[in-house]
Amino acid sequence: MSPELQIALQNAINGLLLGGTYALVAVGFSLVWGVLNVVNLAHGSLVMLGAYVTYWLYTRYRLDPFASLPLTGLALFGFGYPLQRLVINQVIRASFLITFLLTFGLDLLVTNLALAAWTADVRAVTTPYSGRSLALGPLALPLVRAIALLVALAGAALLQLLLTRTRLGSAIRATASDLEAARLMGIPVARVYALTFAIAAATAGVAGGLISLSFPIFPAMGAGYTLIAFVVCVLGGLGSVPGAFLGGLLLGLLQTYAAAWLGPNFDNIVAFSVLVLVLVVRPAGLLGRTERFRG
Amino acid sequence: MTAALSGTARRRLALALALAVAVGLPALTNTYYVRLATGILMFAALACGWNLVGGYAGYPDFGAAAFLGIGAYTTGVLMARAAVPFPLALLAGAFLAVVAAVLMGAVLLRLRGHYFAIATLGFMLVLQQLAANLELTGGGSGMNLPVARSFTTFYYWMLGVCALAAAAGLFLPRLRVGYAIAAIRENQAAAEALGIAPLPYKIIAYSGSAFVFGLVGGVYAYWFTFIDPPTVFNVDFAIQAIVMTLFGGPATALGPVAGAIVLKSLDTVLTTVSIFLHNVFFGALVCLLVIFAPRGLADLRRARGGILAALRAALRENRI
């Protein structure tokens, strides 16, 4: 294998592994946006909280980060439900500027309370198996990130099953497509909204847990992930789990190759150039269904 | 005597008085308060500038700091590397901000809602990363500007920019352009049916806002004498401007100024108490504001049945 090919393939592996994490960050964001019509700017702070829950469970109680993921998800579910029911629900029918500002304010609150509670110190979850990688011929497959990709895939698959095969899923999809009709059919829409948000918070928490294994943890880490979730949604099309997943993988690949070719300091430029290009040239997203956002 | 004056005349008198006090302020107090007042005027100017595109045109620009950064860096580069005098460098920065607004606006203003907001934010982040990677701008370590002799001059520069921005908001609704922009905000399809091509008007509003942000950026750079990418290309400038505009009343001429005065003063007091607390407070304030007064505090005052009833009505209005 020529060195060029080896580097290109290794970048593909790294990009897909990065993309898996992006995908899991984005599915919950996409769900909330698609169902509640809320662009949740506090989504990244939920990812941050998930990372901290995993970190504390590992350092305080020696719970393996992968084994504690269900607990992390549950904790964020418990945080997300009242957050939607009591706070976000108060502005749910207002213009997008209002919901945008509310979630920005929530993000500011959560981030700064985390800063006050846990300081700005950068932390990391380092397990005995953290540095290990599997050899695939001349290529390396980092163990932790490979498992993270599998977990992300499993999480997304579970979410897709929930949305398509359960009564709750039918209620969520019905509420998303027509709020008033769903209400007339006897669906408790306020509870459906809160459950949807809580499920999204749980996926964000699990994504944060996975991120804590490979990336630094600090209170302000969330903002970057919120923006990534947005770009992924635009790439993959709104409100579909497979779309968000493919969009995530695509963005992971794009950023990894861009870093290899242009240098590591151009990731935002690449991501947002792609974002603006897709918004302008292909309004429905690269993979998504039609949605009107031109004005 | 005031009772004999009509409402308009009384408002003009109050405005003239406020302006006279503003002009005379540096002679009345010490440098600490002049500095605080300069900061308040800066945010008042930003809020008025943001109001042009976000309030009057209804296109909430979350990346408005892009133009503040362009103004700051143009002024900085011209002054530090080419020894251009400040007023000239300032104008060049504002001009470049307008050029950028016209070029980017032609693309971004075709989007709407969330997409417009995030795309503008993305545009700002791209510029931030560019500034951090270019040699001309000093990269991530930022750049220094020459130090000015008197800091009171910055008070007058900010006052001038603020007055210009407020005047733009005051006169826009009376101009033909203003009617077109309002029509686009209220109903773009209907405006198009009346023969108004929306894009050029939206670009005018966007450029006006960019001009103000570019001017503020230039003054800010010379005032602080040091700029780096994350401080000038900072999403907070847009968010603060939005919250102040919303607080005082969007699409009104002096609402943003009132919002800036109230919120910036409050913020100054809280910052002296605790730097953490002031961010937590700002977050909580944003949440409470949008939940209880989504159309601004002025709107609450006009409501019938007292403040409490108005708060309850606002709460009922947007939930399910």
The verdict on A118 touching B (C-beta cutoff 8 Å) is no
* Residue range B207-215: mean pLDDT, rounded: 98
For a pLDDT cut of 70, what percent of chain B falls above it? 97
Nearest to B255 by CA among B306, B301, B193: B301
A197 in Cβ contact with A80 (< 8 Å):
yes
Nearest to A105 by CA among A117, A120, A88, A89: A88
* Residue range B164-170: mean pLDDT, rounded: 94
* Residue range A77-86: mean pLDDT, rounded: 97
| Segment B263-307, tens digit of pLDDT | 899 888 888 887 777 788 888 988 998 898 887 777 776 666 777
Q: Given a cut of 50, is residue A145 above it in pLDDT?
A: yes
Cβ-count burial A98-137 (b if 16+ within 10 Å, e if not): bbbbbbbbbbbbbbbbbbeebeeeebebeeeeeeeeeeee
Nearest to A234 by CA among A247, A222, A221: A247
Q: Which domain holds residue A72?
A: 3-281
**Is A288 part of a structural domain of the chain?**
no
The two three-digit tokens of residue A142, written as one number:
């980092």
**Is A286 part of a structural domain of the chain?**
no
Residue B143 has a CB neighbour count (10 Å cut-off) of 21
Are B123 and A268 within 8 A, CB to CB?
Answer: no
The more confident residue out of A267 and B144 is B144
Nearest to A19 by CA among A212, A249, A257, A241: A249
**Collapsing DSSP states into helix, strand and coil, what is residue A114?**
helix
Give the lowest-confidence range in A234-248, B87-101, B208-222.
A234-248
The two three-digit tokens of residue B162, written as one number:
């603020």
Q: Given a cut of 90, is residue A157 above it in pLDDT?
A: yes
**Is A272 part of a structural domain of the chain?**
yes
Pairing relation of β-strands A133-136 and B143-144? unpaired
The verdict on B285 touching A (C-beta cutoff 8 Å) is yes
Q: Measured between CA atoms, how close is B170 to chain A, in angstroms? A: 23
The more confident residue out of B90 and B3 is B90
Nearest to B43 by CA among B139, B165, B152: B165
pLDDT at B222: 95
The verdict on A265 touching B (C-beta cutoff 8 Å) is yes
* Residue range A206-219: mean pLDDT, rounded: 95
Best A37, A41, A91, A270 member to test B by mutation, with max B CBs in 10 Å, is: A91
Mean pLDDT score of chain B: 90
pLDDT band at A45 (very low <50, low <70, confident <90, very high): very high
A194 in Cβ contact with A84 (< 8 Å):
yes
The verdict on A190 touching B (C-beta cutoff 8 Å) is yes
Q: Given a cut of 80, is residue B223 above it in pLDDT?
A: yes
**Is A290 part of a structural domain of the chain?**
no
**Collapsing DSSP states into helix, strand and coil, what is residue A142?**
strand
**Is A220 part of a structural domain of the chain?**
yes
The more confident residue out of A74 and B288 is A74
Mean pLDDT score of chain A: 90
Best A45, A92, A104 member to test B by mutation, with max B CBs in 10 Å, is: A104
Element (H, E) at A141: strand A139-142
Secondary structure (DSSP) of chain B? -GGGS-HHHHHHHHHHHHHHHHHHHHHHS-HHHHHHHHHHHHHHHHHHHHIIIIIIS----TTTHHHHHHHHHHHHHHHHHH---HHHHHHHHHHHHHHHHHHHHHHHTTB-HHHHHHHHHHHHHHHHHHHHH-TTTTGGG-EE-PPPS-SHHHHHHHHHHHHHHHHHHHHGGGSHHHHHHHHHHH-HHHHHHTT--HHHHHHHHHHHHHHHHHHHHHHHHHHHSEE-HHHHS-HHHHHHHHHHHHHH-TT-SSHHHHHHHHHHHHHHHHHHH-HHHHHHHHHHHHHHHHHH-TT-HHHHHHSTTHHHHHHHHHHHHT--
The two three-digit tokens of residue B170, written as one number:
């005051």
Are A269 and B118 within 8 A, CB to CB?
Answer: no
Are B125 and A272 within 8 A, CB to CB?
Answer: yes
Best B243, B286, B295, B317 member to test A by mutation, with max A CBs in 10 Å, is: B286
pLDDT band at A291 (very low <50, low <70, confident <90, very high): very low
CATH code (residue A216): 1.10.3470
- B residues 11-50 lying closer than 8 A (beta carbon) to A: none
Best A41, A225, A226, A279 member to test B by mutation, with max B CBs in 10 Å, is: A279
The more confident residue out of B314 and A15 is A15
| Segment B46-78, tens digit of pLDDT | 999 999 999 999 999 999 999 999 999 999 999
**Chain A residues touching B243 at Cβ < 8 A:** 101
pLDDT at A285: 63
Nearest to A24 by CA among A196, A177, A146, A205: A205
| Segment B76-97, tens digit of pLDDT | 999 999 999 999 999 999 999 9
Sign (positive or negative) of CA dihedral A92, A98, A102, A103: positive
The more confident residue out of B148 and A216 is A216
| Segment B17-49, tens digit of pLDDT | 888 888 888 888 888 899 999 999 999 999 999
Are A94 and B318 within 8 A, CB to CB?
Answer: yes
pLDDT band at A293 (very low <50, low <70, confident <90, very high): very low
The total number of residues shown for chain B amounts to: 320
Number of domains, chain A:
1
pLDDT band at A95 (very low <50, low <70, confident <90, very high): confident
B123 in Cβ contact with B130 (< 8 Å):
no
Delimit the domains of chain B by residue range.
28-256, 274-320
Rounded-to-integer distance, Cα B72 and Cα B215, Å: 8
pLDDT at A287: 59
pLDDT band at B118 (very low <50, low <70, confident <90, very high): confident
Give the lowest-confidence range in A58-62, A227-231, B58-62.
A227-231
pLDDT at B307: 77
Are B117 and A108 within 8 A, CB to CB?
Answer: no
Nearest to B94 by CA among B221, B179, B202, B9: B221
Rounded-to-integer distance, Cα A285 and Cα A94, Å: 25
Q: Measured between CA atoms, how close is B65 to chain A, in angstroms? A: 16
The two three-digit tokens of residue B186, written as one number:
């209220």
Q: Given a cut of 60, is residue A289 above it in pLDDT?
A: no
* Residue range B137-146: mean pLDDT, rounded: 90
The greatest distance separating any two alpha carbons of chain B, rounded to the nearest whole angstrom, comes to 63
Q: Given a cut of 80, is residue B1 above it in pLDDT?
A: no
ipTM of this model? 0.86
Rounded-to-integer distance, Cα B219 and Cα B68, Å: 10
Shortest CA distance from B59: residue in chain A: A97
B216 in Cβ contact with B74 (< 8 Å):
no
The more confident residue out of B66 and B247 is B66
Are B320 and A179 within 8 A, CB to CB?
Answer: yes
Are B243 and A101 within 8 A, CB to CB?
Answer: yes
**Chain A residues touching B107 at Cβ < 8 A:** 276, 280
Distance spanning both ends of chain A, measured CA to CA: 51
**Collapsing DSSP states into helix, strand and coil, what is residue A96?**
helix
pLDDT band at A295 (very low <50, low <70, confident <90, very high): very low
| Segment A243-286, tens digit of pLDDT | 889 999 999 999 999 888 888 778 778 888 888 888 877 766 66
* Residue range B195-218: mean pLDDT, rounded: 96
The total number of residues shown for chain A amounts to: 295
- H helical segments located in A136-185: 143-165, 167-177, 179-184
